[in-house]
Amino acid sequence: MTPLAELLPYATVTTAYAVTTADVPRESWVAAVTAVRDDGASFLDLLTAVDQSPGGFDVVVRLWSVGERYAVHVRTTCPRDDARVPTLTAVFAGAAWHERELAEMYGVAFDGHDDPAPLLLPPGGVVQGGVMHPLRKEHVLAARVEQPWPGSVDPADSGEGGRPSKRRLLPPGAT
């Protein structure tokens, strides 16, 4: 294994919790992942995103070396107003599913992806508070506000006596 600092001289390389992470510019995303793959970490374990609201999105790929048993994370950042990253489908065919999931759940587009069709949500998606992508931090998870819990086990909730009812709390962002 070539040290990441030598393999990716344009990256900022850090190690924490026994995992080495290379932060690369968005325009070097495909080249960096390809270089790490060609150096031995050839198994695509995970491709995900982290909402760094309001700073944008971190897109992270975890690559694993089966023979030498080590993991490498390659991460890039894209701003909220231009949430797009080049596709990795030419490097890893298995990245297609992960990219479709991220496009649907976070709204991160993958330039060059040949089938960006939704995977998990119903047609039209789930729109709450004007936000369509449910894993974005501004998406309000307000299911309990819109629909009461049908299987309440608290006797105070039934209106048949018992303890006094607790004050109802709203999920963050719900009014």
> If you average pLDDT over every residue of the chain, what do you get?
85
In the chain, the domains with their CATH numbers are 4-123 (3.30.460.80)
In the DSSP assignment, the letter for residue 17 is T
Residue 137 near residue 53 (C-beta atoms within 8 A): yes
Q: Say which range, 28-37, 82-91, 131-140, has the weakest mean pLDDT.
A: 131-140
pLDDT at 94 over 60: yes
Burial of 13 per CB tally in 10 Å (0-12, 13-18, 19+)? middle
Q: Which of 12 and 1 is assigned the larger pLDDT?
A: 12
**Regarding beta strands 19-23 and 70-78, do their DSSP bridges make them parallel or antiparallel, or are they unpaired?**
parallel
Q: How far apart are CA 135 and CA 51, in angstroms?
A: 8
pTM score, two decimals? 0.78
Return the higher-pLDDT residue of 150 and 22.
22
Report pLDDT digits (tens) over 7-38.
Answer: 999 999 999 998 999 999 999 999 999 999 99
Report residue 28 as tokens: 């070097």
What's the pLDDT at 132?
Answer: 81
Using 50, 70 and 90 to split pLDDT, how confident is the model at 146? low
Taking a C-beta distance cutoff of 8 angstroms, is the pair 79, 28 a contact? no
Please name the residues in contact with 166: beta carbons below 8 A apart, sequence gap of 6 or more.
154, 156
| Distances in whole angstroms, Cα of residue 68 to Cα of each of 17, 25, 42, 107, 161 | 18, 27, 11, 35, 64
